[in-house]
Amino acid sequence: MFDGIIQNIFNALQWGSFYSLIALGYCLVYGVLLLINFAHGDVFMVGAYLAFFLATCLLGAGSLPHWLILALIVPLTMILTSLVGVAIERVAYRPLRRKGANKLYVVITALMCGLILEHANLAIFGASRRSFPTLVDQATINLAGLSVTNLKMAVIVVAFLVFILLELVISKTKIGMAMRAISYDRFAIPLMGIPPENIIVFTFALGSGLAGLAGLLFAMSYPVLDPYMGAMIGWKAFIAAVVGGIGEIRGALVGGFLLGFVEIMAVAFFPSTFRDLIAFTILLLILWKKPTGLFGVSRYQKI
């Protein structure tokens, strides 16, 4: 019984980590552009596939030790996924922004980009699922009498580390300052000698890189890949970001873990088919009580 509860908590933390890592990307882009990048869930899927191809290639390349392959895949997946995110920004969002297009059209463009990623994957690689190769042997580690698999622990630790790093970047570095500033007043950014496009590209690279990392970790934990794997998890992470208060990275973290816990607890007490119904109902209730999300503040009216 006790062990079951502990396992549930670790599962919740693990899923919360996935949701948080993806939610951070929604949050960063929203903070800078006030745009919900609905393609983001599919960028996560692309990250998982990129990790899959990299792993398969490196495993096929010969006798590289598994730890080295993993050490190579993590940065490579993040960099390549960043490039995908930046390319979407360049090809799809930037031209609309230059023309001063209404937000609605940009959001619809984002949805289309997501669908294009899904269906390009389907068209090129077919509908068959792929299984991610085993890079790390699953082992159970004991922490003060609690047993947890090494992979689960790694996912949770990585999510927290990423959050701490991101918090540091945003609060302490000049580019972080510029990201906060641009969300307050985009007009004044070039007057500071800062090219706004640089900030936007950096934000997309960062958010997509984190989605790539999430994709890799997810594929290692649940090694079955299909073109639609990013859709549902992307929606959920988006909702987690909104519940946390979109635009606030603390909100993305808390929202992600909250969703993880609500889901796992729902399954613990109800039939598993009730999971999403219960989870979304609870999130709806939170938004009903606090429409700006847990950490969100309504924006100050500018004079």
Partner 1 sequence: MLLTVEDLHANYGTIEALHGISLHVAEGEIVTLIGANGAGKTTTLHSIMRLPPPEAPKTIKGDIKIQGESILAIPTHDVVRKLHVALVPEGRRIFGNLSVMENLTLATYARNRNDDLEQDLDQVFTLFPRLAERRKQRSELLSGGEQQMLAMGRALMSNCRFILLDEPSMGLAPLLMQELFKAMRQLNEHGMTILLVEQNARVALRFAHRGYVLDTGSIVAEGTSDLLLNDPEVKRAYLGG
Site for partner 1 in 17-76 (CB under 8 A): none
Shortest spacing between CB 196 and partner 1, in angstroms:
8
**203 in contact with partner 1 (CB under 8 A):** no
Separation between Cα atoms, residue 265 and residue 294, nearest integer Å: 20
As a dihedral over the C-alpha atoms of residue 169, residue 171, residue 177, residue 183, rounded to 10 degrees, the angle is 100
100 lines the binding site for partner 1 (CB under 8 A): yes
Beta bridge partners of 122: none
Residue 301 is a binding residue for partner 1 (CB under 8 A): no
- Give the one residue of 136, 195, 235, 272 binding partner 1; rule: CB under 8 A: 195
Contact 8, 189 (CB under 8 A): no
300 belongs to the binding site for partner 1 (CB under 8 A): yes
Nearest of 94, 114, 96, 73 to residue 212 by alpha carbon: 73
Q: Which two tokens stand for residue 22?
A: 């993806």
Q: Kindly tell me which of 187 and 288 has the beta carbon lying closer to partner 1.
A: 187
**152-162: burial string, b at 16+ Cβ within 10 Å, e else:** bbbbbebbeeb
Among 95, 127, 141, 184, binds partner 1 (CB under 8 A): 184
In the bound complex, what is the minimum distance in angstroms from residue 215's beta carbon to partner 1? 32
* Three-state DSSP state, 146: strand
Which of the stretches 53-61, 77-85, 126-134, 179-187 binds partner 1 when contact is defined by CB under 8 A?
A: 179-187
In whole angstroms, what is the distance from residue 214 CA to residue 230 CA? 11
Q: Which one among 86, 178, 241, 266 touches partner 1, defined by CB under 8 A? A: 178
What is the smallest separation between the CB atom of 263 and partner 1, expressed in angstroms?
33
Which residues of this chain interact with partner 1, rule CB under 8 A?
A: 100, 174, 177-178, 180-181, 183-185, 187-188, 190-196, 300, 302-303
